[in-house]
Structure 1
Amino acid sequence: KAKTTPENYPLSINALMNGCNQKSNRAPQMTLDEGQVQDALDSLRKSGAVALIQGDGRVEKFRHLLYDWLGVEKAELAVMTELLLRGAQTLGELRGRAARMEPIKDIGALQPIVDSLRQKGLLIYLTSPGRGGVVTHNLYQPQELTKVRSELGSGEVDEGPSQPMAPPAGVSASGMSRDPHSPTIAYRADAAPPASKSTDNGDLQELRGEIAALKREVAELREQAESTASELQRELNDLKSQLGV
């Protein structure tokens, strides 16, 4: 929201709840109440990821501290934002969406950003890198990442090195944030796919990634069509009411 609607940022709890519960451009979709949003904010504040900037009788508003917390630049944060909002996606999808927040001309311009995030342990490939490659963020808990891989039909494409890579800024090697009482976040560093992976298996993973991406696009188009149809129906009803039909 800081990038797309800066005039409405920082955000109140109510604005945050509405954003979290937005049905378009979200995967997974959620239905959170104010208490759940407040609990999440409290946890994120302890972790050093969010700050309260307005209070004392006025409406409380919050801003993120992700540049420092994750140790990323503007374009990197745009990419991470899209991955956190939508989950796994192809590089082509990711480029088009992240470019709405920061200028990313083409896949060639996206690749070094992806490589940098991968080196920081913030992004992983779910399929073999290359044509149709699918990536996602690496902030999942282990059981969540297993579910994501299962839904995509991918195996362990990215293998972590024997020694963990440096965690994001503000997070210790044990996976804890600056605050020792904040919850543990799973950061898994990833490396290139093992050389033992066969070419056929890599092609199969790419095809699975492309199929999954197409399914997501179809679902999004269906949702957009339904939303447009509902809006047109409301406008038609309003017009009929005005005309006394």
Structure 2
Amino acid sequence: MDVDQESDAPKWKPLGTTERRVLGVLIEKAKTTPDNYPITLASLTAGCNQKSNRAPQMQLNDDDVDLSLDRLRSVGVAVEVQGSGRVPKYRHTAYDWFDVKGPEIAVLTELLLRGEQTAGELRTRASRMEPFQDLAALQPVLQMLLDKNLIVALTPPGRGQLFTHNLYPDADLAHLRKKLTGDSSSPPPQPVAVASQPATPAPAAAAVAPANDELQSMRDEIARLSEEVAQLKQRLDILES
């Protein structure tokens, strides 16, 4: 019985702030720039510090990232790829570690890179790694992650409901809950609620939410294009060197 319980136990564990950023970048680069993956320590550090698709902004150095890689390797979610006479590179093993597939890993990665987000934000941002046609397509993915306890709902169901990953240490998650709701208790995961319109919205309220969503989508698109330009420049520099 003990053996069965151990085999059913999840492999994933809470991670520190820098470790979560490093893991998020490893997964992101595998999805968005597969031709340049696995990646070197220098590229990984640059990815951790990039301005687009990151919150909060960080200024890590190679030593910070290397220490985090040691921790990630010790828990089994990152490995070093040795090349003959070449600079070591690194890749993740997150699919097995989390026991998830492509759509779930895309949502988790966005949460690791940006922190708490609404379903609408996740659909827009995660679509650069996996296509989500609409919120209805995202809903079963969120529910699966909730069922696996990999994400938690921070606020009640409804428009603007916030989700985050569950890789925070307990104290950090309690602090985040308190900051958002004033309550540090940990209620069970809420059912996923795709945003619905109130029965009789006031005209002003009905106009503000779509406008905010459109503005956020434009900002995300600009950030995505900026990242693509940076990646193209990096490839050009490699070709010219």
CA deviation after TM superposition for structure 1 residue 151, in Å: 3.5
1:59 maps to a residue whose letter is V
In structure 1, the partner of 2:67 is 39
Which string of whole-angstrom CA distances, capped at 9 and with x for unpartnered residues, describes residues 58-90 of structure 1? 110011000000111110000000010111111
Contact 1:124 1:138 in 2 (8 A): yes
In structure 2, the partner of 1:67 is 95
> Matches of 1:154 and 1:119 in 2, distance apart?
25
Contact 2:77 2:94 in 1 (8 A): yes
> Matches of 1:117 and 1:157 in 2, distance apart?
20
2:50 maps to a residue whose letter is Q
1:113 is aligned to 2:111 = no
Residues 91 and 156 of structure 1: CA distance in aligned 2, closer, same or farther (over 3 Å)? farther
Q: Who wins on radius of gyration, i.e. which is larger?
A: 1
> Matches of 2:90 and 2:123 in 1, distance apart?
28
1:13 is aligned to 2:41 = yes
> Matches of 1:96 and 1:129 in 2, distance apart?
19
In structure 2, the partner of 1:54 is 82
Match of 1:192 among 190, 194, 197: 190
Which string of whole-angstrom CA distances, capped at 9 and with x for unpartnered residues, describes residues 24-59 of structure 1? 221122111111111111111111100111244311
CA deviation after TM superposition for structure 1 residue 7, in Å: 1.4
> Matches of 2:89 and 2:45 in 1, distance apart?
12
Relative to the length of structure 1, the TM-score reads 0.65
1:139 is aligned to 2:194 = no
Q: Matched residues, percent identical?
A: 50
Relative to the length of structure 2, the TM-score reads 0.66
Contact 1:54 1:60 in 2 (8 A): yes
2:121 maps to a residue whose letter is E
In structure 1, the partner of 2:152 is 124
> Matches of 2:35 and 2:182 in 1, distance apart?
41
Output aligned runs, 1:148-163, within 5 Å: 148-153=176-181, 155=183, 159=187
> Matches of 1:47 and 1:6 in 2, distance apart?
24
Match of 1:100 among 113, 128, 132: 128
1:17 maps to a residue whose letter is T
Contact 2:177 2:185 in 1 (8 A): no
Contact 1:50 1:62 in 2 (8 A): yes
Contact 1:125 1:158 in 2 (8 A): no
2:189 maps to a residue whose letter is A
In structure 1, the partner of 2:118 is 90
Residues 92 and 80 of structure 1: CA distance in aligned 2, closer, same or farther (over 3 Å)? same
Structure 2: tracts of 5 or more residues without a match = 1-28, 192-204, 227-241
Indicate the larger mover: 127-136 or 11-20.
127-136
> Matches of 1:97 and 1:115 in 2, distance apart?
18
1:107 maps to a residue whose letter is L
1:4 is aligned to 2:32 = yes
> Matches of 1:156 and 1:143 in 2, distance apart?
9
**SS at the partner of 1:2?**
helix
Contact 1:125 1:157 in 2 (8 A): no
Contact 1:126 1:155 in 2 (8 A): no
The answer to which structure has the higher helix fraction is 2
> Matches of 1:192 and 1:157 in 2, distance apart?
14
1:5 maps to a residue whose letter is T
Structure 1: tracts of 5 or more residues without a match = 160-189, 194-206, 229-245
Match of 2:108 among 67, 70, 80: 80
> Matches of 2:106 and 2:128 in 1, distance apart?
9
